[in-house]
Amino acid sequence: MYLDLNASRARLREAQNARNNRAEVRRALASGQVTRRELIKWGIFTAAGTLAMTNGLSPYAHSQVLPSIPTGTPRSPLFGALPFTHPLPRLLEQKPIDLKPVTVPVDGRTETLLKWDGHPSELPVKRTSWHTEFSGAKDAETRALFTNPLTGRGPVEGRPPGEYFAHQRWMEYLPKKGFLMSLGVPGQDVALHPQMERQAENKIWSFGPGRLSSGVLPPPLIKMRYGEPAIFRHYNNVARRYEDNGGFGSISQTTHNHNGHNASTSDGASNAHFYPGQFYDYHWSTTLARADMINTTAVDKRASGPDGNGGLVNVPGDFRELQSSLWFHDHRFFYTAENVYKGHVGALNYYSGVDRGNETLDDGVNLRLPSGSMLDWGNTDFDVNLMLSDAATDPDGQLFFDIFDTEGFLGDMMMVNFTYKPFMEVLPRKYRFRMLCASMARWYKLALVNQSGKIVPMTVIANDGNLLPVPVKVNALDTMSSGERFDVVVDFSGFRVGDRLRVVNLMEFENGRGPKGVLSVARALQEKSLDPAIGAIMEFRIVGELESVDVPGSWYFADSHNDRSVVPARLTEQIPIVAPIRERIIEFKRGASDPTDNEFGACFPSCPEGRENPWGMRINGAETHSLNANRVSMVIPRPGEVEHWTLVNGGGGWDHPAHLHFEEGVTISRKKFALGAAERGARKDVWWLGEGGSVKIQVRFGEYGGAYVTHCHNVVHEDAAMLVRFDVLTDPNNPRSSQTHVQIIPTPNPTPDGVTYVMPEIMPEGNPFHRDFNPRPK
């Protein structure tokens, strides 16, 4: 294609100027040099409070002349870094710490606290937040014990006080292990490739092990097993002042376990974010869904976790609800995209009797999927987490994010495990890859090719961390939108040492509205696209020997190594579709009727100055609303009831991946688009809807209660308020379930000085107890 080079250069210059000017506006606002009102008066903001689309401010303002670059900004400099020159870093496995129970008397009864083994200065874990002690302190001395040590104000634990945010079913799912981690500032030690610039302070905030540690990259991997509940203690160790955020990211954060079957207290998306110097104890309970309804006495061996000695620990619940490849990431309302992009992310593998992470142990329960066999469970030698994301940098090689973008920010550099286009050495045998789309607004269609560009089939075994009933062999994966996971098995045994294969991205974007289309493998390999993320993104190299990750110092040799893993013809059983108790229609739409209608100001909780929130959601055909965390849009009245939900893309040329927290849904059908090869009857938690499309799912809730959300997982749309809150009520007749959550609880309102509660509004269109509620909306 012929491009006028001078015009092209001029446009790039303008785009870079626009980026600088926007950064200038952002700094002026943050430091209080100008007000939003002044910016509107000067024509820099529109009356709606959004950045005016003028030259010098918006890189899109004059893009009619030349084809646009998806990022809307100049290409990121690569500093000579070539693709496939740096090895894939494996995610950093986190070592759990034993938690030792101690019983203490509290107000005439006893309570079980958990002490961190080998960490005597660490506050024990307990059922209610330490915020309760801070709030209830009778004197300054006692209060000081439970005060945020970094700031000297507010409680030491950010979890809201009292029963509303107490860990539910505490003794039943008493944590045995703890993961002690901080989200911190890595300083100058991290780069996306050794040849690229080191990231400046506060460009990346990532997890590191221990209390008040620096962040590190690559992101962490946490291995959990059924029957071993854990605590994830997250210290907030990022910058203290919000203007020190390197241009993007919120210093108040919260961690969402996507999609662990946990109480809303520990879901990380119940408006309970916390501040620098504080920690938050998340109870990752490993509860198997339907524990109160199916296999309640834990006799089914398939519903189990590995005991560490070749045996199993049975747990109550439905084995068809077992989960495997989960992940965790920030969920601070209005700032999720910035924070996740900045590094607040990790992988979470759940192991079960069926999906053991051991390929040789043959007990009639274990599926023996590719993994390894050096450890009793959780082998990762042949079971590899691949976290896919896209990034963009400024001309100095520093991570860049456009906080005024509400369409979907796209990067032009493809990364796997936060490394630019890596390679990985593999043995000629079967591997399992746990692929995760951790991008903000970009989705993928992936194929695998050999060195002559011919397709090598992959076998999909799990979708969003749920085993498929039967493995599905494909030439290319289904669309993998933001938040979606595919577990695939690739058989390299037909290749010879020295052979190379590549993972190719076929899905083209030109802006954040959604994909432009899918390219053929041949075109994608020739990179015949203006989208720099098209083409090969990772390389596999067949080698003859390989060191073990699970037991470093041990080696595998291709000529003597015997692959004993299998991919059984049946992996699990499908949950049948039945007649629902009620139906709901959930629309993902543009144009909320009340973006500023809130007693707390424009947004609740606080949202960025100067960014409009054009996105909203509509329940059962009522009014469209943007997120207000103090509004309950749907009530789930009783555990166990089957509901059918139709997730609808409200149109306008946009695409949205719909994400449901807490429970998976069984995919029933699609409108406008065909079901994907691995989608029929599959359990999922993110559904790509497609432009003008819809998906019907079957859901069922249980075991825990509280406030959850369902939202668009284009996290830029999500941050522009495309979420709704739903509240799950617990069963008053079940003595094991929380009696606090038999009703809707107040909404936490976090501040650096502590959390107060406010009373939420409940919308009739989503409330089955309301006389206007329609259980069969059309």
Stretch that binds Cu ion, among 275-283, 312-320, 651-659, 699-707 (CB under 5 A): 651-659
- Closest contact distance (angstroms) between CB of 665 and Cu ion is 18
Q: Which of 253, 371, 466, 714 binds Cu ion (CB under 5 A)?
A: 714
Distances, alpha carbon 645 to alpha carbons 109, 293, 410, 625, 670, in Å? 44, 22, 30, 18, 12
Question: Of the candidates 250, 192, 237, 239, which has an alpha carbon nearest to the alpha carbon of residue 218?
Answer: 192
384 vs 712, beta carbon nearer Cu ion = 712
- Closest contact distance (angstroms) between CB of 514 and Cu ion is 8
206 vs 714, beta carbon nearer Cu ion = 714
127 vs 656, beta carbon nearer Cu ion = 656
- Closest contact distance (angstroms) between CB of 388 and Cu ion is 19
36 vs 590, beta carbon nearer Cu ion = 590
Distance (Å, whole) CA 747 – CA 599? 14
Length of the chain: 778
DSSP string, 154-201: SBSB-SPPSGGGSPTTTTTT---EEEEEEEE--TTS--SSTTSPPPPT
Contacts of residue 211, defined as CB under 8 A and 6 or more positions apart, other chains included, come to 119, 122, 180, 182, 235, 279
Distance (Å, whole) CA 134 – CA 160? 11
- Closest contact distance (angstroms) between CB of 337 and Cu ion is 11
712 binds Cu ion, rule: CB under 5 A: yes
- Closest contact distance (angstroms) between CB of 515 and Cu ion is 12
- Closest contact distance (angstroms) between CB of 656 and Cu ion is 3
> Coil, strand, or helix at residue 618?
strand
344 binds Cu ion, rule: CB under 5 A: no
- Closest contact distance (angstroms) between CB of 320 and Cu ion is 30
- Closest contact distance (angstroms) between CB of 332 and Cu ion is 18
401 vs 701, beta carbon nearer Cu ion = 401
Stretch that binds Cu ion, among 91-99, 260-268, 419-427, 706-714 (CB under 5 A): 706-714
Query: Within 13 Å, how many C-alpha atoms sit on residue 423's CB side?
Result: 16
307 vs 510, beta carbon nearer Cu ion = 510
> Coil, strand, or helix at residue 141?
helix
355 vs 587, beta carbon nearer Cu ion = 587
- Closest contact distance (angstroms) between CB of 691 and Cu ion is 11
Stretch that binds Cu ion, among 349-357, 652-660, 662-670, 731-739 (CB under 5 A): 652-660
Question: Of the candidates 57, 55, 75, which has an alpha carbon nearest to the alpha carbon of residue 21?
Answer: 57
Question: Of the candidates 455, 472, 456, 458, which has an alpha carbon nearest to the alpha carbon of residue 520?
Answer: 455
735-754 residues in contact with Cu ion (CB under 5 A) are none
- Closest contact distance (angstroms) between CB of 717 and Cu ion is 3
- Closest contact distance (angstroms) between CB of 79 and Cu ion is 33
575 vs 617, beta carbon nearer Cu ion = 617
Indicate the helix (H) or strand (E) that contains 92.
strand 92-93
Distance (Å, whole) CA 549 – CA 384? 10
Stretch that binds Cu ion, among 239-247, 347-355, 643-651, 654-662 (CB under 5 A): 654-662
Distances, alpha carbon 121 to alpha carbons 96, 115, 117, in Å? 17, 10, 10
Q: Which of 717, 729, 747, 748 binds Cu ion (CB under 5 A)?
A: 717
DSSP helix, strand, coil percent of the chain (3-state; round to 5) = 10, 30, 60
Torsion of CA 621, 623, 629, 633, to 10 degrees: -30
DSSP letter at 575 equals P
- Closest contact distance (angstroms) between CB of 404 and Cu ion is 17
Write the single-letter amino acid at 26: R
Stretch that binds Cu ion, among 82-90, 114-122, 412-420, 708-716 (CB under 5 A): 708-716
Stretch that binds Cu ion, among 90-98, 290-298, 473-481, 712-720 (CB under 5 A): 712-720
> What is the contact mask toward Cu ion in residues 656 to 685, using x (rule: CB under 5 A)?
x-----------------------------
- Closest contact distance (angstroms) between CB of 476 and Cu ion is 23
131 vs 256, beta carbon nearer Cu ion = 256
- Closest contact distance (angstroms) between CB of 586 and Cu ion is 13
320 vs 717, beta carbon nearer Cu ion = 717
Site size toward Cu ion (CB under 5 A) is 4
643 vs 655, beta carbon nearer Cu ion = 655
- Closest contact distance (angstroms) between CB of 498 and Cu ion is 44
369 vs 695, beta carbon nearer Cu ion = 695
Question: Of the candidates 170, 175, 182, which has an alpha carbon nearest to the alpha carbon of residue 117?
Answer: 175
Question: Of the candidates 153, 166, 205, 155, which has an alpha carbon nearest to the alpha carbon of residue 183?
Answer: 205
Residue with tokens 């689309």: 53
Distance (Å, whole) CA 121 – CA 115? 10
Stretch that binds Cu ion, among 55-63, 538-546, 649-657, 694-702 (CB under 5 A): 649-657
Stretch that binds Cu ion, among 50-58, 208-216, 655-663, 685-693 (CB under 5 A): 655-663
In 499-604, the DSSP E strands lie at 500-505, 507-509, 515-518, 535-542, 545-547, 555-557, 582-590
472 vs 712, beta carbon nearer Cu ion = 712
Please, are residues 694 and 680 in contact by the beta-carbon 8 Å criterion? no
505-544 residues in contact with Cu ion (CB under 5 A) are none
Q: What angle do CA 317, 322, 325 make, to 5 degrees?
A: 150
Beta pairing class for 220-225 and 345-351: parallel
Stretch that binds Cu ion, among 281-289, 525-533, 648-656, 690-698 (CB under 5 A): 648-656
Stretch that binds Cu ion, among 7-15, 157-165, 224-232, 710-718 (CB under 5 A): 710-718
Write the single-letter amino acid at 599: E
204 vs 617, beta carbon nearer Cu ion = 617
Please, are residues 382 and 359 in contact by the beta-carbon 8 Å criterion? yes
441 vs 699, beta carbon nearer Cu ion = 441
> What are the tokens at 170?
């505490």
> What are the tokens at 554?
């041990």
626 binds Cu ion, rule: CB under 5 A: no
261 vs 332, beta carbon nearer Cu ion = 332
- Closest contact distance (angstroms) between CB of 687 and Cu ion is 12
Contacts of residue 726, defined as CB under 8 A and 6 or more positions apart, other chains included, come to 632, 633, 634, 635, 636, 707, 708, 709, 710, 766
Distance (Å, whole) CA 111 – CA 132? 14
Positions touching Cu ion (CB under 5 A) are: 656, 712, 714, 717
